[in-house]
A and B are shown apart, each in its own frame.
Chain A
Amino acid sequence: MSKPKIAFYWAGSCGGCEVAVVDLGEKIYDVVDAFDIVFWPVAIDTKYDDIRNLEDGEIEVCFFNGCIRNEENEEIARLLRQKSKVMIAFGSCSHLGGIPGLGNLSSRDETLDYVYRKTPVFGNEDGTMPCTTCVKDGNTIDLPALRTEVSALDDVVDVDYYIPGCPPPLPVIEGAVAALMSGELPRKGAVLSTEKTVCDECDKEKRKKMVGKARRIYDDDVDTSLCLLEQGIPCMGPATRGGCKAACPSANMPCTGCMGPPPASQEQGSRMVTAITSLIAVENEREATAEEVAEALASLRDPVGFFYMYSLPTSFLKRRYNDE
């Protein structure tokens, strides 16, 4: 009997998710024993046609990492969806849009203009810009176009499960792989990690204390035994699902929110507004003017960029607008 087939794919991603799979170490042999890897561009030599030639639903599970940034990402997502029984969004980019999702704060033209014309280290005297068709020696080559927006995987295809994280932490991957191999899977649409928040998993001492303004982690009087947020250091712990065992705060770095919103919350930014404004306030607020309140909060830099670092395309507002 032939083994069930699995596939791995990277769309708009950095490659970190691929490394996370390799981090399984010798456990990857269990996977190889149980499954036949039919497609994995980073590791084995397979072509898109190998996938096109399969029957619909012939792949048992597809692990799809990376966001949908260009037309090729979208085309292959649709193809793999058609050929796979179970489609898994692997990592923050396919789950929520990921860091590339912050690209939705700029238009496509602004992005191209910056990258190809304005980046100081990029020598492009002729002003060559990417195009979707090119003729070389009489042959026409078609290239995928950049989409106007970055999307998460479930914006273009139906997704069965999500493995969160940037990249997904090893225990989370192991748990998901074990669930898949045993066939004991939760309800469709589940995020395969814990229901707790990062704060629940963080062992820093919480004292429910307020501070006058936000600070940065490199300020020298940070007490690393205490909750970072309560010292005014923006930390996404309360607005983020756990499963990583609070990896970043444990190393005295604030959580940036890669595991996405916790189960009880629909999006990270609004949750974080509530959390952080419960902690940062001017003294003697009763007498304070609106300007003083604003000044205390102005110490918090780039709230959209920080609160939605991994989830902008799946947040309520999704992108930047033009409201003159």
Chain B
Amino acid sequence: MTEESFEPKIVGFLCNWCSYAGADLAGTSRTKYKPNVRVIRVMCSGRVDPLFVLKAFEKGADGVLIAGCHPGDCHYMSGNYKTRRRMELMRRMLEQFGINPERLRLEWVSAAEGARFAHVVNDMTEKIRELGPSPINGGATDE
């Protein structure tokens, strides 16, 4: 794929109570943002099993975005803290796998932050575009 024609595929897991509502707000406010994130609604960011992240990469995602409620605001009290721990460890592991950890991103987006959601999506899309296609599944190996 050439540099110009590369459109990053990003899988986004958004928690129902904050970030999905935030994305909805971006939509109803007609905020324009990049169409590169495929959204999957989960009840809580804590529902995102690390397996989902690996599976998304295995299936060809160039990036994975997880968005949840700000610290203190999780509908289930501590789901987002668990997510923060898990994803920190996952990012370290991606690095060991030779995958740029920037491909996995965790963000806090509240229901009132439609503009922030749009900004996160645009920013991540551009960062992944710079990184290029994911090396997993057919991408560059070192031999």
Question: What is A's interface to B at a CB cutoff of 8 Å?
Answer: 105, 107-109, 148, 265-267, 269-271, 273-274, 276-278, 280-281, 285-286, 290, 293-294, 297-298, 300, 302-305, 307, 315-317, 319-324
B55, B81, B86, B99: the one within 8 Å of A323 (CB): B99
Interface size for B (C-beta < 8 A) is 36
Report the minimal beta-carbon distance from B50 to chain A, rounded to whole angstroms: 4
Q: Is B72 an interface residue (CB 8 A)?
A: yes
Complex CA distance for A161 and B134, rounded to whole angstroms:
34
Interface hits, B16-71 → A, CB 8 Å: 49-51, 53-55, 57-58, 71
Does A322 lie within 8 Å of B55, measured CB to CB? no
Question: What is B's interface to A at a CB cutoff of 8 Å?
Answer: 49-51, 53-55, 57-58, 71-72, 78, 81-82, 84-86, 88-90, 92-93, 96-100, 103, 131, 134-136, 139-143
Q: A286-B72, A321-B97 are in contact. Are A267 and B54 (CB under 8 A)?
A: yes
**For A105, A286, A298, A317, which residue has the most chain B Cβ atoms within 10 angstroms?**
A317
Does B55 lie within 8 Å of A303, measured CB to CB? no
**For B78, B93, B103, B135, which residue has the most chain A Cβ atoms within 10 angstroms?**
B93
Complex CA distance for A317 and B98, rounded to whole angstroms:
10
- What residues of B have a CB within 8 angstroms of the CB of A148 in the complex? 141, 143
27 A-B residue pairs with Cβ-Cβ distance under 8 Å, sorted by A, are: A105-B97, A107-B142, A148-B143, A269-B50, A271-B50, A273-B89, A273-B90, A273-B93, A277-B82, A277-B89, A285-B71, A297-B92, A303-B92, A305-B96, A307-B93, A315-B54, A316-B57, A317-B54, A317-B97, A319-B97, A319-B141, A321-B135, A321-B139, A321-B141, A323-B99, A323-B103, A323-B140
